Homo-oligomer: A and B are copies of this chain.
Amino acid sequence: MRDLSRDLAHLSINTATVRKQLGLFDIIEACARRGIPTLCPWRDQVRAAGLAETARRLADAGLGTSGYCRGGFFPAADPAGLTAALEDNCAAIDEAKVLNAPCLVLVVGSLPGALAGNPLSKDIARARAQVYDGIAATLDYARGHAMPLAIEPLHPMQGAERSCINTLSHALDICDALDPDRTGALGVALDVYHTWWDPQLETQIKRAGRERLLAYHVCDWLVPTRDLLNDRGMMGDGIVELRKIRGWIEAAGYAGPAEVEIFSERWWATPAAEVLDVCARRYQTVV
């Protein structure tokens, strides 16, 4: 296993982690100042800051990206919605190229309307079929633009609103069907928060292998967890066996960044400088 304690060479910050405290350019500057070499920007933050200017600021600061958050949300209640989702995913691929991202992370969506609190359907099998078709269609465009797609399985508690792909096994089934030659064009984003509970985690990480492991996200699972969305823990504050899981993904061939992605009311209420310092320290000591 890599020794992460010596420097921050493999640390990335997902910009959602401090999104309520800082604008995107300030996040870039704060990371650069600390020697954090990589971040993963969110699409709405990039849109607010301007795509070309974001790319320029990243380059000027010497920062790379560990991914682009996010494409997906394929299911829809009607054909127009399905088409709009595909167009939006192609646009996200274009943006990811401008940012020189190594992959576009896909949060695939689930029951149409559910994210807005008004599910228009209960048919999760249909949502899954729409997701499959949506990834297939997007993959054509993504291959043409050399932008790998990383399916992120989300925790089953987010299975109605955000993602109907809730296990690594399910994500890899889709990868195997759509990219049987393991070309690197389609893989997964493995987030320990969403997957720590899975009794098949080690087996499926092995199955994924180097070609499919496109991104690796860390935070922690708090006991108790008080909110289904915004109560993620800082690494070391919860019960995820971070080092064990990193051992599995590195044994499978992953050599990319550990991306810290924390959605947390607590950490959003903490000064960004302190959050980033704690992220860096915990990365070096407990990840």
Q: Identify the A interface with B (CB < 8 A).
A: 111, 114, 117, 119, 122-124, 128, 155-157, 159-161, 164, 166-167, 170, 196-199, 221, 223-226, 228, 239-241
Note all chain B residues with C-beta closer than 8 A to A223: 111, 114, 117, 119, 160-161
Q: How far is the CA of A129 from the CA of B164 in the complex (A)?
A: 30
Tell me which of A111, A166, A197, A226 has the highest count of chain B C-beta atoms within 10 A of its own C-beta: A197
**Copies of this polypeptide in the complex:** 2
Shortest beta-carbon distance from A273 to chain B in Å: 29
With beta carbons under 8 angstroms apart, the residue of B124, B198, B199 that contacts A197 is B124
Does more than half of chain A's interface fall in helix, strand or loop, or is it mixed?
loop
User: Smallest CB–CB gap between A171 and chain B, Å?
Assistant: 10
Q: How many Å lie between the Cα of A166 and that of B199 in the bound state?
A: 8
Contact A225 B224 (CB under 8 A): no
Contact of A156 among B122, B156, B170, B240 (CB under 8 A): B156
The reply to whether A239 and B160 contact each other, CB–CB distance below 8 Å, is: yes
**30 pairs from A and B in contact (CB 8 Å cutoff):** A111-B223, A114-B223, A114-B239, A117-B223, A117-B224, A119-B223, A119-B239, A124-B239, A124-B241, A155-B156, A155-B157, A156-B197, A157-B157, A157-B225, A157-B228, A159-B196, A160-B221, A160-B223, A160-B225, A160-B239, A161-B223, A161-B224, A166-B197, A166-B199, A167-B199, A170-B199, A224-B228, A225-B228, A226-B228, A228-B228
- Least CB distance from A175 to B in Å reads 14
Cα A126 to Cα B199 in complex, Å, equals 12
CA distance A20 to B224 in the complex (A): 23
Give Cα A230 to B232, complex, Å: 19
Contact in complex: B197, A239 (CB < 8 Å) = no
Bound CA span A228–B224, Å: 9
A123, A156, A225, most chain B CB atoms within 10 A: A156
A160 CB contacts on chain B under 8 angstroms: 197, 221, 223, 225, 239
Sample of 9 more A-B contacts, CB < 8 Å, known A122-B239, A123-B241, A159-B197: A111-B223, A114-B223, A114-B239, A117-B223, A156-B198, A160-B225, A170-B199, A224-B228, A225-B228
